[in-house]
Structure 1
Amino acid sequence: MNKVFASPDAAVADIADGLTVAIGGFGVGHSYPNSLTVALRDHGARGLRIVANSLGGGGAHRPQILVENGQVDAVVVSFSARPGMPSPEEALVAEGKLALEMVPQGILVDRLRAAGAGLRAFYSPVTVGTPLANGKEVRDFDGNDFVLEHALPVDVAFIRGWRADRYGNVQFRGSSAHFHASFAKAAKLAIVEVQEIVEPGVIPPHEVDLPGIFVHRVVQSTITLGAAASKMKRRAPESGREYFGKPALSRSGIARRAAGLVEDGDYINLGSGLPTLVAGHIQGRGVFLHAENGALAYDLLDDPEEFDSDFFDAAGNFIRMRAGGAVFDSVVSFEVARSGKLSSVMLGAYQVSGSGDLANWATPGQIGGGIGGAMDLAASGAPVVVVMEHTDSKGRPKLVEQCAYPLTAPACVKVIVTDLALFRWIDGRFVVEEIAPGFTPDEIRAVTPMSFDFATDVRVLGDVELC
C-alpha cells in the first residue's frame, strides 16, 4: 500500500466542479494546507462549496484565494470577517454572488465529527436564543433548550500534519491538530500534506493522531510559510481613555483587575483582544489557560527568538507549554468547554444587556461576522466574565438595557470588568462593586444606560493584590 502522491497538483487533479471541500487551518494563517490550496486554485475546479473555520487572512496561499479566483459558490465558516481586515467573501455575499452559512466553531467541528462517525444529527445547547437557531428544531431536555444540528459530510478534505507514512498514518505537532482529524473523517477523499513523509513504523502506534484508514492521499508540503515572529504576547499602553475629562483604567489595568478574579487551580479560557492581556498577569501562578484549538496549561511568549510555529493559542499568539500541560484537537477542546469543566470564560463584547445577554460576534446589518468559539464557550455553563472598555471607539455605550447587536448567548454574563467599573450579577441584577479612582456613581450612571444597582460598600476598581 502506498498513498503517497508525487505532488499536490497530482493529488488534486481529479477534483471535480461543484464538490464540497473542507480545508483545515486555524485563525488568520496557522497550519493551513497551503500547498494543496494553491494546487486546487491552479487546477481550476469551480462551483465549490468550502467548509472551513476561516478562509484565512490575506496572502497567496490560504483558502481565501479560491474565493478571489471565482471558484467558490458557497462557504460554511465560523469567521467570514475580522475587525480591521478586508474580507472578499463578505463583499461577495453582499453582492449575492456567494452563499454564506455561519457556524459556531465547536458546532462546526462536531458536525464534521458526526458525519465521520455515521451520525446524522445531534442536539446542542449552543446558539439557543441567537439568530443562528432561527428555523431549526429546538427541543427541551431536562428543562433546558437544545438546537438540532445536522452532520456535515464533505466530498474532499485538505488537512495539514507534521509527519505521515505511506499508509496514511498522520502525526500532528503542538497545538496544530485542531480541526484536521475531524475534517478528514467526514470526507469521502481526505488528502494530507505534511512536512515529512516517513516509513511505516517510524511513527510509533501510540503516537498516530489520525489512523491511515481515514486518509486517502499523502503529499509532501511544497509551500512552507514562516510564522510571524512578531506575534508575541500583546502589550497595552499604560494610559487609558478619558471620561468627563478624567483618565480611566488602562487596558492593562482592566486586564490586571480581571486577573484578580482568578484563583490558583482555575481553568480559564481567554477570548481574543483585551481578554488575552489577562495572560500576562497570571504568569507564574497556578492558573491553567485553555485554548479552543487544543492546548491546556501554557504561557504566552515574549521572546521572538523562542517561538515555534506549531504552538499557538486560539487568538494566534505563540505559546510555551508549561510542565504538565497538554495538547489535543478541537474535539477534545470543546468537550472541555461545553461539559462545564472550565472555571470561567473571559470574553470581549460589543454589548452586554441588563439581563446578562452577550453580543460579541457581529454588528447590526453585517451579513456574517466572527463567531469563533464564543457561542460554545458562552453556552458552557461556566461563568462568563466580560472584559472590555466601557464604551466603544466612538463613545457609544456598550452596557445597554437590551442588545441591538445579534446575540452570542442570552443571560450568560456574570461579571463585567471595564475601565470604569466592576459589575457582578447578584440576585437577577447587575451590581456595581468597584468604581475607577476619581469617578462618582453619578458619572457611572451617565455612561451606562442599563438597569443596575450599587453595592452598599463600593470599592476602588483595581485596588487588588494578585496572588
Structure 2
Amino acid sequence: MGTPHSKVLSAEQAALLIRDGSTLAVEGAGRLLLSEAICGAVERRFLATGKPSGLTLIQPCGFGDDENAGASHFAHVGLVRRVISPGWGDSPKMAGLALDNQVEAYCFPQGVVGQMIWASACKKPRVISHVGLGTFVDPRLDGGKLNAVTRDDLVEILELDGTEWLAFRVLPIDVAIIRGTTADEFGNISMEQEPAFLEPLALAQAAHNAGGLVLAEVKRLVRRGSLHPQMVKVPGILVDGLVVNPEAWQIHGEERYNPAYSGETKAPDVALAPGELSQRMVVARRAAMELAPGAVINIGFGIADGVPVVATQEAVGGEVTFTVEQGTIGGIPMRGRALAAQINPEAIIDQLSQFSFYQGGGLDLAFLSFAQVDQQGNVNVSKFGTKLPGCGGFIDISQNAKRVVFCGLFSKANTVRVEDGAVRVVSRGATSKFPARVEHVTFNGDRARQRGQPVLYVTERAVFRLAEPGVEVLEIAPGCDLERDVLAEMGFKPKISPALRQMCPSVFRPGLLGLRRTWSAPSADRPSGML
C-alpha cells in the first residue's frame, strides 16, 4: 500500500482496494464531509471495468448535492445491490434506482443507523430501540423497505419486560470511507475545519474490528506527532489508507471554507430585517410564535428552517438554543441543503451523542416540515408520489421531542397571495396535502396522543392541533373562509375547535412580531397553540 510505511494513496489506488460484494459504509451528511476524491474514483473504476460490483452501501446520513456528488457516485445498476440509508433526497439518482426497483432499498431512522454502525464495531447482533414504532419502519407496516425487490427482514418486533421494541439487524462492515481535515503520516485524523463530526470513529472501529479497510480523505498531510492528541478524532491505528484532496469543500458546492461554520471564529452578528411576506415566511412567523425562552430546539429541513431567521429578526435567538441532528449546538442553523451546519455554533459533538440526547427526550421543541397530514394526525415526509426523500432524523426527533410543530404550505401547486394583512387564495392546489390517509407513516399521530405529546400543524391558511380523536382546526388566517379555503381542500373533515380564532394578524403584516412581548403576555392573549 503506497511506499513502505506510508499510508498515502491516490484516489484510484484506494478504489482498487474495494472488492466485489463488500459492505461499504460511507460518511457524509447532505453536502458536508463528502469524500469526493475516493467516491469519484470508485465510480470511474466501475464505469471502466464493471468493478467493484454488488456492493451493500450503508449511509449513516443521506449525502449528496442533488446531482452528481455524494451517493450519486454509487447510483449505477450493478455497482450497488443494496442501500441502507435514512436519507434519499440528496441523491435523486439513487432514489431513482430505488423507485425503479433496481436496487434493494431500506430506510431507517438516522439515529438508529448510526447506532447500527456503533453496534457493528462492538459486534453486537441487534440495535434495540423504540424509535420507529408505528411508522413505516415498523415490520407490521413496511419494515423500512422502500420497494418490491427489497425482501429481507432487517427489523423485527421484540418484547422485553412487557414493552414492545424494534430490533434492527447489525451488519459487519468491510470498508469505511471517512472524511477529515488533517492527517499525520500515521493516519491520525483531526477535523478542525469541519462544521460537523458525524461518526467517523464508530465507522473506522466497525471496519477495523471486522478485519476490513478504513480509507480516509483529508485536505492536508502533516508530520507524525504534529497533531495535538485532543484534536485527533480518529486514531491512526484504525486507518489503512489516506487520500489527500486539497480541494475538498467544507460544504460541497456551497462553501470552500468558512471558519465561522467550524467554530474557529465568530462571524459578526447581522441584523436581519423582515423580508417579503411570502407563504413560506408566513408559516415560519406563525411557527416561531411557539418559541419559548430557554428552550432547546431542533430545526428540520424544509420550510421549518425559516424559524431561526424569524428568531434572529426578533432578536430572541440568544434566548433559545438551536440544535441540528448532525451534532451542532447553539448558533444559527443554515438553510436549504447546508442545514447540517450552523454558523457560530457553541458546541459540536458527534452525531451519535446528539441522537442519544434526542432519543432520550432531551429536546423541548422541534420544528419540522411536513408533506402530508391525515385525519389521524399521521405525518408523511418520507415517500409521496414520485418523491423519495427518506426520513433522515425526522422519526428520532418527532417521536421524542416534548413538543412538535409541523410546518408546511396548506396545498401543493396553488396560488396564494399575502397582501393587506390577509391571505387571498387565488387558485386551488392540484394535490391535497391533507389526504384521508398518508402514503407513508413517518410520524404516528395515535402514538403521540397516547404519549400526551402536544403537536401543532402550522400552515399559511390555518393552524391545526393533534386532538382526540384526530386533527382539530384551531386558527384560521385573516381573509380565509373556513369552508371554502380550508375544509373544501382537505380529504377529511377535521374537528372544529369551539374556540376557533383568527391567526395573529401581525403574522401577515410587515414588521416585527414582538416575540418578547408575547412571552410575557397573559395566556389568553397568546396564540392558541401556546403552552
Which band: TM-score by shorter chain? Answer: 0.7 to 0.9
Which residue pairs with 1:328 in the alignment? Answer: 349
Partner residue of 1:51 out of 29, 50, 58: 58
Which residue pairs with 1:454 in the alignment? Answer: 497
2: CA distance, partners of 1:60 / 1:11: 20
1:89 is the counterpart of 2:89: no
Alignment CA distance shift 1:144-1:353 (3 Å): farther
* Correspondence 1:251-400 to 2 at 5 A: 251-283=280-312, 284-285=315-316, 286-300=319-333, 315-316=338-339, 319-322=342-345, 325-363=346-384, 368-393=388-413, 394-400=429-435
Which residue pairs with 1:205 in the alignment? Answer: 229
Cα deviation code 1:216-264 (max 9, x no counterpart): 2223126534642599999998355xxxxxxxxx211110111110111
Q: Given residue 384 of structure 1, which amino acid in structure 2 is its aligned partner?
A: V
Partner residue of 2:216 out of 189, 192, 209: 192
2: CA distance, partners of 1:15 / 1:30: 23
Cα deviation code 1:276-317 (max 9, x no counterpart): 01110112321111111110111146xxxxxxxxxx997547
Q: Given residue 287 of structure 1, which amino acid in structure 2 is its aligned partner?
A: V
Which residue pairs with 1:145 in the alignment? Answer: 164
In 1, are the aligned partners of 2:77 and 2:102 still within 8 Å (CA)? no
| Unpaired stretches in structure 1, ≥5 consecutive residues | 241-249, 302-311
1: CA distance, partners of 2:349 / 2:234: 12
1:214 is the counterpart of 2:238: yes
Q: Larger strand proportion, structure 1 or 2?
A: 1
1:9 CA drift (Å): 2.5
Q: Is the partner of 1:107 in helix, strand or coil? A: helix
2: CA distance, partners of 1:386 / 1:200: 49
In 2, are the aligned partners of 1:432 and 1:455 still within 8 Å (CA)? no
2: CA distance, partners of 1:349 / 1:61: 26
Alignment CA distance shift 1:123-1:364 (3 Å): farther
Cα deviation code 1:195-220 (max 9, x no counterpart): 12223332222222222333222231
2: CA distance, partners of 1:299 / 1:63: 27
In 2, are the aligned partners of 1:3 and 1:168 still within 8 Å (CA)? no
Which residue pairs with 1:23 in the alignment? Answer: 26
1:9 is the counterpart of 2:35: no
Cα deviation code 1:173-213 (max 9, x no counterpart): 34331143332222121111111222333222222222233
1: CA distance, partners of 2:103 / 2:499: 55
1: CA distance, partners of 2:25 / 2:361: 29
C-alpha RMSD over aligned residues = 3.1
Instruction: Decide which moves more: 116-125 or 178-187.
Output: 178-187
1:171 is the counterpart of 2:211: no
In 2, are the aligned partners of 1:25 and 1:32 still within 8 Å (CA)? yes
In 2, are the aligned partners of 1:35 and 1:61 still within 8 Å (CA)? no
TM-score, L = length of structure 1: 0.84
1: CA distance, partners of 2:385 / 2:165: 25
Q: Given residue 238 of structure 1, which amino acid in structure 2 is its aligned partner?
A: E
**Percentage identity across paired residues of the two chains:** 23
1:416 is the counterpart of 2:457: yes
1:269 CA drift (Å): 1.1
1:130 CA drift (Å): 2.2
2: CA distance, partners of 1:357 / 1:66: 33
In 2, are the aligned partners of 1:353 and 1:450 still within 8 Å (CA)? no
2: CA distance, partners of 1:353 / 1:59: 32
2: CA distance, partners of 1:160 / 1:360: 29
In 1, are the aligned partners of 2:333 and 2:339 still within 8 Å (CA)? no
Q: Is the partner of 1:202 in helix, strand or coil? A: coil
In 2, are the aligned partners of 1:158 and 1:191 still within 8 Å (CA)? yes
Q: Given residue 50 of structure 1, which amino acid in structure 2 is its aligned partner?
A: L
TM-score, L = length of structure 2: 0.75
In 1, are the aligned partners of 2:85 and 2:108 still within 8 Å (CA)? yes
Q: Larger helix proportion, structure 1 or 2?
A: 2
Alignment CA distance shift 1:111-1:388 (3 Å): same
1:60 CA drift (Å): 5.2
